[in-house]
Amino acid sequence: MMTSYFTNKRILVTGGAGFLGSQVINHLIENGVDRKSISIPRSRECDLRVWENCLKSVQGIDIVIHLAAKVGGIGYNREHPAELFYDNAIMGIQLMEAARISGVQKFVAVGTVCAYPKYTPVPFQEEELWNGYPEETNAPYGLAKKMMLVQAQAYRAQYGYNAIFLIPVNLYGPGDNFNPDSSHVIPALIKKFVDAKENGDKEVIIWGTGSASREFIYVKDASRAIVLATEKYNGHEPINIGAGKEISIKCLVEIIQNITKYDGEIIWDAEKPDGQPRRCLNTLKAKTEFGFEAVTPFEEGLRETVKWYMTNKIS
């Protein structure tokens, strides 16, 4: 749907070549943004951990949508806690400051559900964000991203700066990261089952007990939410971005096993961590503030993701 808000706006999308960023750019173009008005700094040429690169990247920009992040699943988080904290914190802090002093009109900071306390009551409400410490394996990443909320609110209080903070739940969809060293749960499971079926493996080993729950949002829904918030939300409170539906890992495994038609045995490795016990967001504020609701049925999104992996995987 075309909107006049983005007319003649120059937009910087960090992480714009990535899984979520490429979909955000598609939605911006659908909303009337000229592709030539969108700047995408590539990490190879523009390391946002370097202050001078942050300053260069925001010159002449009206809106920053900050999606760039160093991310991974539970295993990656356990092995790289220092990098996940430093890289994510320094990128966000420097980029927002560069945007402010360069006269960028609006800064859209995209955080993570990992910022919530480990034992947040379900469904997670934004008011619970500071009521405890995050799940240990996610804490360095989650806290680094949450510092952008502190920064955004501080900048709004002192400078009147228009910075907003969004909290997306776990994403999934075509184009996701299927690297077993750094992927999240859905692409990791899809890869396990598709590869096991093709290789004729008699069993698939899954981390944890299956008792933990998660919520997932299809990447196209998440990108639509971010573009809507960029246009319509200018408040100081953080806003959850999710589908508002919870599923156990055990049930998720069964659905993916069914979609991939794998008929071998499932082995649960209970020595491995489950991560945060439960995750499910209250998404009422997103609906109230900027009219967002997720629309993609979960199994439909999973089928599209499996199809994409089977078509695009490198053997």
* SS3 per residue for 219-236: HHHHHHHHHHHHHHCCCC
> Is 141 noted as a catalytic residue in this protein?
yes
Distance between CA atoms of residues 18 and 24, nearest Å: 10
Q: pTM (2 decimals)? A: 0.93
Per annotation, catalytic residue among 141, 161, 172, 233: 141
Domain-wise residue ranges, the chain: 11-176+215-245+279-296
Distance between CA atoms of residues 311 and 315, nearest Å: 11
Per-residue pLDDT tens over the stretch 20-78: 999 999 999 998 899 999 999 987 789 999 999 999 999 999 999 999 998 877 778 88
Per-residue pLDDT tens over the stretch 248-274: 999 999 999 999 999 999 999 999 888
Per-residue pLDDT tens over the stretch 196-245: 999 999 999 998 999 999 999 999 999 999 999 999 999 999 999 999 99
Distance between CA atoms of residues 130 and 62, nearest Å: 31
Topology of the domain covering 11-176+215-245+279-296: Rossmann fold (3.40.50)
Per-residue pLDDT tens over the stretch 55-66: 999 999 999 999
